[in-house]
Amino acid sequence: MKKVIAILVVLVGFAFNTNAQDKMKKETVKTVALEQTKGEFTQKQITLSEGTYIFEVANNNVGTDVGFVLQPKGKSGQANHIKEAYVKALVKNNTKQTSNKVTLKKGEYTYFCPLNKTPEYTLIVE
């Protein structure tokens, strides 16, 4: 009887571990490439589906370091920034940098760069 219980415990543990690994494999992380030029992003509006993303920001000869801010539309101020979307380091002139993974739900967001003084652009998640 103890052997049967031990085998069942091992099998149940294996099933849970396999499910966790399957979920991790199914999470697809997509990259959104953005480019900044002097005073603007070249992408004026982005539409995405719900999911997990990494933002890759290119500094195309802006002449200064740039960054990336993403926030829910209508909610301004640093307290509302989605911090995972910040680039990992300032984007130096003529280089690229990425953010951490960001999981986006349906809704509208705005993105901008305070260092490059860009306008706020719209990102829609459907």
The Cα 30–Cα 111 span in angstroms is: 17
Model's pTM, two decimal places?
A: 0.79
Q: Is 8 in contact with 31 (CB distance < 8 Å)?
A: no
Is residue 116 one of the residues assigned to a domain?
A: yes
| pLDDT, tens digit (0-9, with 9 covering 90-100), for 8-28 | 444 445 555 555 555 555 679
Structural domain count of the chain: 1
88 occurs within a structural domain: yes
Q: How far apart are CA 24 and CA 7, in angstroms?
A: 26
Enter the tokens of residue 20: 């966790």
Residue 5 belongs to a domain: no
Please give the residue range of the domain that contains residue 120. Answer: 28-125
Position 103 in a domain: yes
Is 62 a member of any domain? Answer: yes
Asked whether residue 36 is assigned to any structural domain, the reply reads yes
Q: Is residue 1 part of a domain?
A: no
Q: Is residue 8 part of a domain?
A: no
pLDDT confidence of residue 63: 97
The pLDDT tens digits of the residues spanning 23-58 come to 555 679 999 999 999 999 999 999 999 999 999 999
| Cα–Cα distance for residue pair 35/49, rounded to 1 Å | 20
| 44: nearest Cα among 95, 110, 101 | 110
Give the three-state DSSP class for 7. helix
CATH number of the domain residue 50 falls in: 2.60.40.420
**Residue with the two structure tokens 């966790």:** 20
